[in-house]
Amino acid sequence: MPLALLALAIGAFGIGTTEFVIMGLLPDVGETFGVSVPTAGLLVTGYALGVVIGAPIMTLLGTRISRKRMLMLLMGLFVIGNGVSAIAPAYGVMLTGRIIASFAHGAFFGIGSVVAAGLVAPHKKAGAIAMMFTGLTVANIVGVPLGTLVGQNLGWRATFGIVAALGLVAVAGIARLVPEQPRQEGVRVRHELAAFRNVQVLLALGMTVLGFGGVFAAITYIAPMMTDVTGFAASSVPWLLVLLGLGMFAGNLVGGRFADRALMPMLFSSLGSLAVVLALFTATAHSKPAAVVTVFLIGALGFAGVPSLQKRVLDQAQEAPTLASAMNIGAFNLGNALAAWLGGLTLTAGLSYTAPNWVGAVMAAAALALALLSAALERRSAPVPLPGSVAQPV
């Protein structure tokens, strides 16, 4: 794997930290601004919606300059957003900072996925994408728990200040390690949008929204769930987030390896297993040992499907992969926003902190249904060999 993938992973590490660290700090942020936990959860929803909106806008703007320079500019925007969050005097200002940072997210992963896939041979593309996303999973092992620990001891503002500094490190890494990428000549908005006429692209985006959204339904409210339902002390939350991150790391690497061999079977198994585990979490959350195992499995199964989903979109939108790739990252975050909002509704209705797990299970099951439909349509459209001919291996 090329060394340039390390630079992309550094950027992914910073983005992953700011995206997920807020979940361990929701009670502290809510207390600072005098808002409830469900209201503080809108910081997750707002960030996710910012990714959805920002992904196509920033990606199309990025067609006018080299990919390397665009990646550096996106990380600069990320630094500004986290700096605003760190010094926010009011809840609304912090939400604004989160949205500013979120505008870098989708385009960075979208453009980065195309760059990563272009650095390796065709049969290693999913592995290269998984390598970049390793930064996101390592963020959940190191960045998120450490950020939560810092926030609990020094205040959540210190956490976002450190995250902004991480963004500066990422800019330096990209400048040093990523090779120059030529400006995309001849790219037109109409050409990029044409990919979305393909029903398989739309189905892949739907799988992403529902599948990864299922993960977020559970982990958005993991801090109050683990303390109020399972009985863990607040000081244990960072270590539970480490466990979640370890699961994401393992699932991402395994998913990347198997996606290059059997992409759709990998999606079937990961989405189906995720739906079952999320449903079981409503019961296992009442037992500390069972909750520990379940948290790891949610991370592993959730991220096992990420390389497959990203490669599926790239495969189905080969003539205009950049915008489609960025929109798939937006789809991840649309699922996050939808799941966080629906999970918040269950809490506002007075249900237990385990209720969002049912939301996640239903979303994952719906994603599996879309995957099965996509495979069925693909089989129906495949050419039928003539009698007596020998089928060629795919």
How far is residue 274's CA from residue 285's CA, in Å, rounded to a whole number? 16
HSE of 389, CA atoms in CB hemisphere, 13 A? 8
Residue 133 binned pLDDT confidence (cut-offs 50, 70, 90): confident
* Residue 391 vs residues 71, 257, 384, 394: alpha-carbon distances, Å: 43, 26, 9, 9
User: What pLDDT score does 384 carry?
Assistant: 43
Q: Average the pLDDT over 368-389 and give the result.
A: 73
The more confident residue out of 191 and 343 is 343
More confident residue, 63 or 211: 211
Q: What is the largest CA-CA distance in the chain?
A: 75
Average pLDDT, the chain: 82
Q: Which amino acid is at 130?
A: A
**Predicted pLDDT of residue 63:** 74
pLDDT, greater one: 1 or 68: 68
Residue 79, pLDDT > 90, answer: yes
Q: Contact, 267 vs 373, CB < 8 A? A: no
Ranked by mean pLDDT, which of 51-60, 113-122, 157-166, 316-325 comes out on top? 157-166
Q: What is the pLDDT of residue 110?
A: 78
Q: How far apart are CA 120 and CA 118, in angstroms?
A: 6
**What does the pLDDT average to over 261-285?**
90
Q: Average pLDDT in the 98-122 region?
A: 82
The yes-or-no verdict on residue 120 having pLDDT over 90 is no
How much is the pLDDT for 367? 92
Buried b / exposed e along 124-160 (16+ C-beta atoms within 10 A): bbbbbbbbbbbbbbbbbbebbbbbbbbbbeeebbebb
354 CB-side CA count, 13 A: 18
Confirm if 314 and 325 have CB atoms less than 8 A apart. yes
Which helix (H) or strand (E) element contains residue 278?
Answer: helix 263-284
Give the residue-averaged pLDDT of 72-85: 93
Split at pLDDT 50, 70, 90, the class of 19 is: confident
pLDDT band for 348, please (50, 70, 90 cuts).
Answer: confident
Q: Of residues 230 and 113, which shows the higher confidence score?
A: 230
Is 265's pLDDT higher than 60? yes
Confidence of residue 394 (pLDDT cuts 50, 70, 90): very low
What's the pLDDT at 319?
A: 67
Per residue in 172-231, pLDDT (tens digit) is 888 888 777 665 555 556 666 666 778 888 888 899 899 888 888 888 888 889 998 998
Which residues, 6 or more positions from 235, have their beta carbon under 8 angstroms from its beta carbon?
Answer: 152
- Domains defined along the chain, listed by start: 4-179+187-380 (1.20.1250.20)
**Contact in structure between 4 and 67 (CB atoms under 8 Å):** no
Joined tokens for residue 33 = 């601004």
pLDDT of residue 257 exceeding 90: no
pTM, whole model, 2 decimals? 0.72
The stretch 309-315 carries a mean pLDDT of 79
Residue 269 burial by Cβ neighbours in a 10 Å radius (0-12, 13-18, 19+):
middle
Ranges 184-188, 280-284, 377-381, most confident? 280-284
Averaged pLDDT, 153-179: 87
Range 288-316 average pLDDT: 86
Residue 261's nearest CA partner among 110, 133, 125 is 125
pLDDT of residue 361: 93
